[in-house]
Amino acid sequence: MGGRRAFGYASLALLAALVAATAIRAVVAGLTGLTDDEAYYRLWALAPAPSYLDHPPMVAFMIAAGRFVAGDAPLGIRLFAVLTPLAGLLLLWRSAHLLFGPTVAHRAVLFALAMPLLAVGGVIITPDTPSVLFWGLAFWALIELDASGNPNWWLAVGLAAGLGLLSKYTNLFVGAGLVLWLILSPTNRRWLRSWQLWVGGALAIVLALPVLAWNANHGWASFAKQFGRVAQSEPITLRYLGEFIAGYIGLASPAIAVLGIAGCLRVSRLPPHARDGARALLAAAVLPLIAYLLLHALHGRVQANWAAPVYPLLAVCAAVAAGGRGGRCVDAAAKEGTNGTDRPRGGHVVGWAAGSGLVLSLLLLFHAVHPLVLLPGSKDPTAQMRGWPELAREVTAARQAAGACWIATWSYATTGQLAFALAPDTPVVQLSERIRYAHLPAVDRALFDCPGLLVELERRAFPDALAARFADVRAHGHLTRAYAGVPIATYALYRLATPKGPVLSDGAP
């Protein structure tokens, strides 16, 4: 009875922590400016399409829905980034509970809440937002399938996998993980005779068809951009591997990162009759993507967010390493995580690891709202979120002084930020890489009969490229984006008039 009451209190405390974390993320999301990528994805949401140059369309759908509910403001744009972690962590609790029991489930959610990558990811909306959600949904459905033996769960697996393919190409590794799970254990191969497995696979493919169709209609541009990274490689080096490992330690928080690795090793050493379920399911969810990223890191840089979908599962591994009761898949070790009573051991390890992670995450969120240190230039990753309203007012004054009707840019970052910060009736047109905006109505060529004003970072102004497109190109000064008096970036201004020929192009300037 005492143990049940303790777990009841622990569950209430965990639920309160989830609600509090959601509220904190909502406040931060509403008080901070957009990142460059968020501002760019907002342009996608203005006209949702089957796909885009950089990623599949799910993030655009989420932003469009958020803007409909909460308006065209930072909180509205990020609304689903704030809300989806709540659903994702509840699914994580259920998955960990089925695998290892309630103690590990509680601790896994606590560790996931404390991971800086997931904390920041709960504020900023990117393709990782739906990618992480549907990755977790797919493997939750697989765990339910394994626990219940009900083949209808394959339909849910296929639905989640297909929605993941509408989110990010990284979710192709969900399919690799499912194949790995089917062949890893002879017991799992029986599912190959289930019609639900094949219908679920067909459902995933059907859901991904819009992305395939968009690529076919646009010269396979998105596939070439994303999968081309595999072919672009440098000689083998350990430098990027070190960056990848250091990034994991920092973004998971050091203590949780170490526990996560230790937990993966611990699961692999469970007794043979107890380990198959847990080992196979965790291996399927984690190993294909991690193996690819480690291989990629030997010859190229791995961006910190690429591994985001497996961080919740690494939180489960960390909870296993911290000690806890065994569950369905590790019943042979059911007493390993206790001290002979109903109270699980390892609480001091959990408290220290989760506490240090939470402090680090809260510091990062606080820094996003009120910088702890102001560094000149853009060395601070949060710098791209600052100073745009003030810069927009100066750009408007400069445009009016130049007699310009529209704003020109060379980069998607400047395009997205100015399109959000300037008045809606001020056209912002990126002169290059027009395939990024294939979903938007074509630019009226009559617009170029009126002078324009280029606003771009000094290093990306490309005056020679401007001179090749316009007969009248005049320098119009500089503007500095700043925050609290500290300069962040300097922008060159050029007045453009009298086009020589085509103004827009698909290529780089």
Number of compact structural domains in the chain: 2
Q: Residue 32 has which token pair?
A: 């901070």
Same domain, 287 and 328: yes
179 in the same domain as 119: yes
Q: How many residues does the chain have?
A: 509
Q: Beta strand 452-457 with 428-430: parallel, antiparallel or unpaired?
A: unpaired
Query: Distance between CA 113 and CA 108 in Å, rounded?
Result: 9
Residues 387, 363 within the same domain: no
Q: Is the dihedral of CA 466, 468, 472, 474 positive or negative?
A: positive
Looking at residue 282, its pLDDT comes to 83
State the distance between the two ends of the chain, measured CA to CA, in whole angstroms: 71
Do 419 and 340 lie in a common domain?
Answer: no
Three-class SS state of 362: helix
Q: Are residues 329 and 444 part of one domain?
A: no
- pTM for this predicted structure: 0.92
What is the Cα–Cα distance from 166 to 47, expressed in whole angstroms? 16
Give pLDDT, residue 337.
40
- In terms of domains, do 184 and 59 share one? yes
Amino acid identity of 284? A
Query: Do 356 and 393 fall within a single domain?
Result: no
Closest CA to 103 of 11, 2, 1, 15: 11
pLDDT of residue 265: 80
CA neighbor of 87 nearest in space, from 35, 21, 147, 33:
21
Helix, strand or coil, per DSSP, at residue 248:
helix
* Boundary of a domain, candidates 311, 338, 369: 369
* Nearest-angstrom CA–CA distance, 194 and 215: 32
Asked if the structure places residue 109 within a domain, the reply is yes
Domain boundary among the residues 315, 343, 369 is at: 369
Let me know if residue 330 belongs to a domain. yes
Same domain membership, residue 436 and residue 347 = no
* H helix or E strand, kind and range, residue 408: strand 406-409
Q: Find out whether 451 and 496 touch, Cβ atoms under 8 Å.
A: yes
Q: Is residue 79 part of a domain?
A: yes
Tokens representing 433?
């890489």
Segments forming the whole domain that contains residue 394 = 383-499
DSSP letter for each residue of 66-133: HHHHH-SSHHHHTHHHHHHHHHHHHHHHHHHHHHH-HHHHHHHHHHHHH-HHHHHHTTS-STHHHHHH
Residues 122 and 268 in one domain: yes
Domain check: are 343 and 402 in the same one?
A: no
Tokens 């008045």 sit on residue: 423
Give the pair of three-digit tokens for residue 281.
């399911």
429 and 309 part of one domain: no
282 and 419 fall within a common domain: no
Low-confidence residues of the chain: pLDDT under 50: 272-275, 325-342
504 in a domain, yes or no?
A: no
Show the tokens assigned to 409. Answer: 């840019």
Let me know if residue 469 belongs to a domain.
Answer: yes
Q: Is the dihedral of CA 399, 404, 409, 414 positive or negative?
A: positive
For residue 302, tell me if it sits in a domain. yes
Distance of alpha carbon 416 from alpha carbon 271, whole angstroms: 54
Give me the helix-helix angle, 272-296 and 239-252, nearest 10°: 120
Asked if the structure places residue 376 within a domain, the reply is no
Q: What is the pLDDT of residues 151-193, one digit of tens each?
A: 999 999 999 999 999 999 999 999 999 998 998 778 889 999 9
- The C-alpha atoms of residue 471 and residue 23 are separated, in whole angstroms, by 54
Residue 374 covered by a domain:
no
3-state SS string for 135-160: HHHHHHHHHHHHHHCCCCHHHHHHHH
Condensed to tens digits (0 to 9), the pLDDT of residues 99-109 reads 989 999 999 99
For position 508, what pLDDT does the model report? 81
End position of a domain, from candidates 329, 347, 369: 369
